[in-house]
A and B are shown apart, each in its own frame.
Chain A
Amino acid sequence: MDTLKYIIKRILQTIPLLIVVSLISFFIIRLSPVDPLAELKLNPSVSPETVRIESQRLGLDKPIIIQYGKWAKSFVMGDLGVTSTGEKVSQKLKERIPNTLLLTTIVILLTWLVGVPLGIIAAVRWKTSFDRILTVFTSIGMAIPSFFFAVLLLMFAVKTGWFPIGGLTSPNFAEMSFGGKFWDITHHLILPVFVLFTISLAGLQRQMRANMLDVLDSDYVKFARAKGLSENIVIYKHALRNAVNPMITLLGFEFAGLLSGAALTEYVFQYPGLGRLILEAVLKSDINLVMASLMMGAIMLVTGNLIADILLIITDPRIRSKS
């Protein structure tokens, strides 16, 4: 019951937060000197009449506060509005979200399935050559910028011809059998997944290793060992449970990154995800689209944190008793 109350309280707290986020974002976008009609104004064949009609259509002739009010009203009603070219924002997002989710979920699953065990093993076999080699590789993974790594892999793909150059499907995708389609998507996903995997694996593995080392050094582990428990029980029952807490907070952030975390890599690989869409929207000051993506980011972050907190309540009795 307390937990439920706590959750409701947290959800209510997010409302003012979201309002502030939306206000700040809206005003920053509108007050920036980016003029959504600049290109139109500089086109010799467009008449002033057209520019005026266009500015009315986008609501640019009204004061900012009224523009915000209009946007906020329709946002609350669940209408994300239309893009500057007249397409439905929700439709545009719907086209791209599944692609981005496909990429980021695969990456997150892979990194957690590989990263956490590797972190544990590295901590348990601390200062052995296995640990050292892993350290070298994860350091490389952390040091290399994702876009640079992505470009290198693209060049590798051009030279060898083993992988397609970006995208998600081949031109003849529609005519493929189910197996063919599956293989085609996998083939396209290998490189972007590899980039994101290498980079987030490094961080995750280091984090897990550090947590585990901390815990292994604590008194109760020493006590457990002294009691004569088997090494497996010491590590997996006593140490791991305590080491995993910070990871849960991290998982909350990973959730926030589901939609936006891969933007840079998506751009380099020309992946048809949200990254490219939002980058273009920002450049063109396409307010409804930018606002929708910013709000989505904010909501994902808040939800991610909430999920992490709830998970913590479940795994950690200390927090449960406090709340």
Chain B
Amino acid sequence: MTRRVFRVLLCLAVVALICKACIVRDIPIKSEQTQSVNQSNLSLNYTPPQNINIDGVDYLESQSPIGTFGGTLVNSTIGEGPKTFNPFNCKDNTSSIMAGTMYDGLVTTHPITGEPIPKLAKSFSISPDGKVYTINLRKGIKWTDGKEITADDVFFTWNNIIFAGYGDTSTRDSLYINGELPKVRKIDKYTVNFTLPQPYAPFLRMLSTAIAPKHAFAPAVQKGKKYFDSFLSTNTKPQDFVTSGAFKLKEYVPAQRVVFERNPNYYEINKKGEKLPYLDKLIYLIVGDLNNQVLKFEAKELDIISLQGSKVARYKSLEPHSDFKLYNLGPDTGTMYLSLNLNNRKDNKGKYYVEPIKQKWFSDLNFRRAIDFAIDRKNMVLNIANGIGEPLFTPESLNSIYLNKNLKPYDKNITKSKELLKKSGFYTDKKGRLFDKDGNRVEFNLYTNAGNTEREAIGVMIKQDLEDLGMKVNFKPIEFNSLVNKLVSTFDWDMVIMGLTGSPLEPNGGKNVWLSDGRLHMFNMRTEEEGKAGLLTWEKELDEMMNKGALVTKFEDRKKYYDKYQEIIYTQKPMIYIYSPISIVAVRNKFKNIYPTSLGGVIHNIEEIWTH
């Protein structure tokens, strides 16, 4: 008997010890900690490389301090790795990053100001009428196989690949200006020009598209589009790539990593005239999810990690006695919004997409503004984004160079909300339930995609905020694909919480959202047959601003139109913007020449980064 008791006690003791070992004292959360990753460490004094001619070769010369050669930087990419290494076939982010590392474009983006600056091109100029773009190429720079990069490659890339519709056609599609494509002409070995049917401002940034080596791509193009789709797939041998970027492919191990090594033919040099990049190797580990990424960073297998809001406080407290530094890149390009369905049309069967009673509410500006004032953005930033975010009021993200700074932020104001509702004849009964002037209870569905915890949390908070006004909100997170189906084909939704990633450099990228016949004009989506039916006055104005903004080339002129478009959304509230997350990145201290910027990220100057 005693033996049995003894055994039970022994088992309990073992279990207790195991439990004890698993418990780690929590680090107390201090909300101030999160605020202290300030933006002061953003490098606003970074100078991008400048042109220099040495012995007839047009190099780029790095303006940053001189470093030592060697070393490896290990970055990561989430998901299942690249699907292709062909820069013209990339449909996903990871593939684009890989192709972007391997192939340079004619221009690139200034990491601080966002202006287009020369890359493979030595310089470029735009004719006064904004129609002719002349590109001067660098003399004497080479592909990885030693052949020179010339105007033939540029002409071939644009004429025979992009304009001919090979690979992903989105670049070509967005360049149809009044149904016509720009014309590309080779002037001499180092000069190419593009003639546009009419001025079109977004064109300049499209010149950042990769340039392909003609001698490597021409055989594939000859074999037709179907062959081109599988050309340079992930099964291609690394030595078969002919590339121009700072790093060339060394090894691809499916589901594990992509290894790049330095390109000895790269056209950038440091002040001592030594060829960059400094690093021997650049490795992207392919990690399946965020949790594994964090574990890998903590086990020092990764050198760079982008942190989610909830992790920042812990990393901040670890930073002083660790070998990494946190950088605050400011608000990122993600925008979270609440959209209302303003659709007042019928489907083929004569049934309204949105019930007529709801249509009345949603088309009422007072109703939309009341919702806007009821939403507590600051609270959401604090509770959902752990303070790592910024309230948002405009469709342009906060780091956009076109952001309209005159549109002032405001706080939650429930009294103002109630006033606005009253003005439109809404009233509340004794129980605090809200009715419209015809006596209908205000009740609607709010959707978002299930599984996205951030949006689900926003949904819960919005539901609470709106219930303060007496509205009944049925919050329904549904499967992503079903939601997209509702948004773009069946239109049977009331409100939705979504996010889009915009470009901080080019508002024209959002034209599918804002143009009244755009494919993603969610808040008042029209079928192709409907065309521009039931155009609202401010929608018409929006169309005008988006179209005009694309046709002028000067930044100042464009800004005027894009300021106005933001103002229309700000006052009409078809989409109510909520917040932008701030992106915080941890980088190991051993790396030098790190100049993180909001627009460029951390490794925009990968060729200049060095380590001991």
Give chain A's interface residues, CB within 8 Å of chain B.
33-35, 38-42, 44-51, 53, 82, 85-88, 91-92, 95-96, 132, 136, 152, 154-155, 157-158, 161, 164-169, 171, 173-174, 267-268, 270, 272-273, 276-277, 280, 285
Within the assembled complex, what's the spacing in Å between the Cα atoms of A166 and B299? 11
Say yes or no: is B164 at the interface (Cβ < 8 Å to chain A): no
Residue contact B170 to A85, C-beta cutoff 8 Å: no
Residue contact A44 to B256, C-beta cutoff 8 Å: no
Interface string of B367-409 (1 = CB under 8 A from A): 0000000000000000000000000000000000000000000
Within the assembled complex, what's the spacing in Å between the Cα atoms of A40 and B480? 12
Residue contact B170 to A277, C-beta cutoff 8 Å: no
Q: Which of A33, A86, A96 touches B485 (beta carbons < 8 Å)?
A: A33
Residue contact A168 to B295, C-beta cutoff 8 Å: no
Residue contact B84 to A44, C-beta cutoff 8 Å: no
> Known: A44-B512, A86-B233. Is A158-B174 also a contact (CB below 8 A)?
no
Say yes or no: is B273 at the interface (Cβ < 8 Å to chain A): no
Distance (whole angstroms) from the CB of A156 to the closest CB of chain B:
10
Within the assembled complex, what's the spacing in Å between the Cα atoms of A158 and B301? 10
Residue contact A85 to B169, C-beta cutoff 8 Å: no
Q: Which of B74, B174, B259, B300 touches A47 (beta carbons < 8 Å)?
A: B174
Give chain B's interface residues, CB within 8 Å of chain A.
7, 11, 22, 72, 74, 79-80, 83-84, 89, 91-92, 168-170, 173-174, 229-230, 233-235, 250-251, 253-257, 259, 283, 285, 287-288, 292, 295-296, 298-301, 479-482, 484-485, 487-488, 500, 502, 509-513, 519-520, 528
Within the assembled complex, what's the spacing in Å between the Cα atoms of A40 and B299? 36
The total of Cβ contacts below 8 Å across the A-B interface reads 138
Among all A-B residue pairs, the 3 with the closest Cβ atoms: A272-B255, A85-B83, A47-B173
**Subset of 24 A-B contacts with CB under 8 Å:** A33-B485, A35-B485, A38-B480, A38-B484, A38-B485, A42-B484, A44-B509, A45-B174, A48-B519, A49-B169, A53-B169, A85-B92, A86-B89, A87-B84, A136-B11, A152-B22, A154-B292, A166-B287, A166-B296, A168-B256, A267-B288, A270-B288, A272-B255, A273-B255
Distance (whole angstroms) from the CB of A137 to the closest CB of chain B:
10
Residue contact B299 to A158, C-beta cutoff 8 Å: yes
Main secondary structure of the interface of B (DSSP, over half): mixed
Distance (whole angstroms) from the CB of B208 to the closest CB of chain A:
14
Q: Which of A49, A53, A91 touches B235 (beta carbons < 8 Å)?
A: A91
Residue contact A165 to B292, C-beta cutoff 8 Å: yes
A154: B residues at CB distance < 8 A: 292, 295
Residue contact A44 to B520, C-beta cutoff 8 Å: yes
Distance (whole angstroms) from the CB of A264 to the closest CB of chain B:
12
B519: A residues at CB distance < 8 A: 41, 46-48, 51
A49: B residues at CB distance < 8 A: 169, 173
A50: B residues at CB distance < 8 A: 168-170, 173
List 15 extra interface pairs beyond A44-B520, A47-B519, CB under 8 A.
A33-B481, A35-B484, A40-B91, A44-B513, A45-B509, A47-B170, A51-B519, A86-B84, A157-B299, A158-B298, A165-B292, A171-B72, A272-B254, A273-B255, A277-B80
A40: B residues at CB distance < 8 A: 91
Residue contact B295 to A155, C-beta cutoff 8 Å: yes
Residue contact A171 to B479, C-beta cutoff 8 Å: no
Residue contact A96 to B255, C-beta cutoff 8 Å: yes
Residue contact A270 to B287, C-beta cutoff 8 Å: yes
Distance (whole angstroms) from the CB of B327 to the closest CB of chain A:
23
Residue contact A38 to B170, C-beta cutoff 8 Å: no
